[in-house]
A and B are shown apart, each in its own frame.
Chain A
Amino acid sequence: MPFRELIIALIFILWLTANICYLFINKRRGDFTHRSDLFRWLSTVKLFSRSETFYLSYRDKLADQSLMLWQSVSLNQPWRPYHAIWFPARTIGECVKSMLSDLAHYARKDQSGLGRKKIKERFIYHALFYFLQRYPKNDDSLGRQFRIQDKENNEVFISDFYRE
């Protein structure tokens, strides 16, 4: 067997073995870490095995310290047949769903441990506020807060008030 073929065969064997090892040995951690690792690409394929849905809502605090009512954020677009081929609006919806799922995961874990990154220090916490800036607010708003709920309407996470 020529040297180049041997190298390619070795790469295939290593790639396959690494995928299999990762899938069966360490698949849980892979959902949240090292998403660009060459050997962990397959572990993201779950095809709806996870059916948990989270809901996002937000509210503003006004200058007189009163709170506005919670406004729910709808990530759904009406179903259209052509969405099977062309559905660019799905991109942002999926980004937000991913952030909600990750934040809910972190919120359910103990956040008090030393050395563990706090939710409020995480990028997705700030990215969610950034995303919510596209929704209208009063001029006298003192800050915005968001809430994540599960499908039974249980509160999974509630943020601090945040002002730009």
Chain B
Amino acid sequence: MNLSIAQILGSINLFLVIYTLIDSFEKFYNYKEYLTGGALSWSLLRKNSSFTSKSESFRNFIDIIFPIRPWFFLIAFRMICGLGLLVLPFNSPFFAFLYASLFIIGFLVSLRNQAYGAETENRFSLIIIGTLLLRSLSPTDRVTLASLWFIALLVCLSYLIAGISMLGNRDWRRGNGFKYVVASVEMIPFKKINTFFDEHKVLTQLVNWLIILFECAFPMVLFAGQIVFWCFLVLGIILHLAIAFGFRMGKFFWVWMATYPALIFIAQR
């Protein structure tokens, strides 16, 4: 069964929109943190030296858009743009506007919270949204192909880098990295799971090396044939489901799943 370009892009959009809606609803749910006294209040974040060192015109601009009211207006607009991607017909001329809006607001989310580190899933979603924005500016076959290759290459690179980073970490290299993570009550506050992995050392070492092998070898999906491709894809889905349920990082799942249709498209060819 071969998927059409419309189905591939539609699937990417669907996963991106699910991520965008969950992330936006979570921001609304946490609105108290955006009020004065909250950890995400603009009265606090604006004191960050990466803002105070900027020009006065830039500071005036962010002082207009980052306080709670305009900020939540932008987040609500982001949700509407996300829904627009699902409602409007494929290749609608409005797509460029919707992607551009999602890209700008996503970038502002990253900028506003930069003192607290990267929201990794938001930043990875920006790569996908940015790519689809470029594609929507010139939706020809060649640009579509280049866009899907770009997404596929970057997701392979993301796994490869994570694998290399694990190899650079002494705990993971010794086969204990996975154990330290899953046996840690800070990472998974579920005593039965912590104890289970703490007691099964051979299993945790096996999973440790399986994860490293999976991540380092993931770029093979681009050229190793259908069987290898589907094995990696299924393993990837299992890994991300485990991360979502175990580590409660569900938003990662949707963003990384948004890249898999691009991989399927490359594998089909």
Chain A residues in contact with chain B, CB under 8 A? Answer: 1-2, 4-5, 8-9, 11-12, 15-16, 19-20, 23, 27, 35-36, 41-51, 53, 75-79, 81, 83-88, 90-92, 94-96, 98-99, 101-102, 122-124, 126-127, 130-131, 133-134
Q: Which residues of B contact A102 (CB under 8 A)?
A: 117
Whether the pair B161, A126 counts as a contact (CB closer than 8 A) is no
Instruction: Say yes or no: B115 contacts A124, CB within 8 Å.
Output: yes
Closest to B177 in A: A51
Which residue from chain A places its CB closest to the CB of B157 in the assembled complex? A42
With CB as the reference atom, state the residue of chain A lying closest to B212. Answer: A49
CB <8 Å contact, A47 and B215: yes
B137 interfacial contact with A, CB 8 Å: yes
Q: How large is the interface on B (under 10, 10 to 19, 20 to 34, 35 or more residues)?
A: 35 or more
Contact for A16 among B40, B150, B181, B245, CB less than 8 A = B150
Contacts of B215 in A (CB 8 A): 47
CA distance A27 to B126 in the complex (A): 19
Chain B residues contacting A122 (CB-CB under 8 Å) are 49
* CB atoms of B143 and A5 under 8 A apart: yes
Residue of A nearest to B182 (CB): A48
In the complex, what residues of B have CB within 8 A of residue A43's CB? 161
CB pair A133 B22 closer than 8 Å? no
A130 to B44, Cβ gap below 8 A? yes
Shortest CB-to-CB span from A38 to chain B, Å, is 8
B residues within 8 A CB of A123? 47-50, 115
Assess whether A84 is in contact with B115, with CB atoms less than 8 Å apart: no
Q: Which residues of B contact A36 (CB under 8 A)?
A: 107, 110-111, 114
Which B residues lie within 8 Å of A46 (CB)? Answer: 161-162, 165
Query: With an 8 A cutoff between CB atoms, is B171 at the interface?
Result: yes
Partner of A85 from B138, B140, B157, B250 at Cβ < 8 Å: B250
Main secondary structure of the interface of B (DSSP, over half): helix
Cβ contacts B235-266/A at 8 Å (1 or 0 each)? 00000010111011110010000000000000
Main secondary structure of the interface of A (DSSP, over half): helix
The answer to the question of B205 belonging to the interface, with a C-beta cut-off of 8 Å to chain A, is no
Complex Cα–Cα for A8 and B142 (A)? 10
Q: Which of chain B's residues have a CB closer than 8 A to the CB of A5?
A: 138, 140, 142-143
Digitize B149-182: 1 where CB-to-A-CB distance is under 8 Å, 0 elsewhere: 0100110011101100110110110000100110
| Given A44-B118, A75-B186, A76-B185, A51:B245 Cβ within 8 A | no
Rounded to whole angstroms, the CA-CA distance of A130 and B39 in the bound complex is 7
Ranked nearest first, the 4 interchain pairs of A and B with the lowest CB-CB distance are: A98-B117, A49-B165, A95-B116, A88-B26
- Residue from the set B50, B117, B126 with the largest chain A CB neighbour count within 10 Å: B117
* Contacting residues, chain A, for B142 (C-beta < 8 A): 1, 5
List 27 A-B pairs, Cβ < 8 Å. A5-B140, A12-B131, A16-B154, A36-B107, A42-B154, A43-B161, A45-B124, A45-B161, A46-B161, A49-B162, A49-B165, A49-B168, A49-B172, A51-B169, A51-B171, A51-B181, A77-B189, A83-B250, A88-B29, A88-B30, A90-B249, A91-B26, A91-B27, A92-B40, A123-B48, A123-B115, A127-B44
Q: Are A19 and B40 in contact, with the CB atoms below 8 A?
A: no
- Point out the residues of chain B lying under 8 angstroms from A27, CB to CB: 161
Q: A42-B124, A81-B245 are contacts. A47–B162 as well, Cβ < 8 Å?
A: yes
Shortest distance from the beta carbon of B68 to any chain A beta carbon, whole Å: 15
Q: Which residues of B (119-140) have their CB < 8 Å from a CB of A?
A: 120, 123-124, 126-127, 130-131, 134-135, 137-138, 140
Does A83 contact B248, Cβ atoms closer than 8 Å?
Answer: yes
- Is the pair B161, A42 in contact by a Cβ cutoff of 8 Å? yes
Question: B195: shortest Cβ distance to chain A, in Å?
Answer: 14
Which residue of B has the minimal Cβ distance to A48?
A: B181
The residue of chain B having its C-beta at the shortest distance from the C-beta of A50 within the complex is B169
Contacts of B114 in A (CB 8 A): 35-36
Report the minimum CB–CB distance from A66 to chain B (whole Å): 28
For the complex, give the distance between the alpha carbons of A75 and B189 in Å.
11
Nearest CB to that of B116 among chain A residues? Answer: A95
Task: Let me know if B250 and A95 touch, CB within 8 A.
Answer: no
**In the assembled complex, which residues on chain A have CB atoms less than 8 Å from the CB atom of B117?**
35, 94-95, 98-99, 101-102
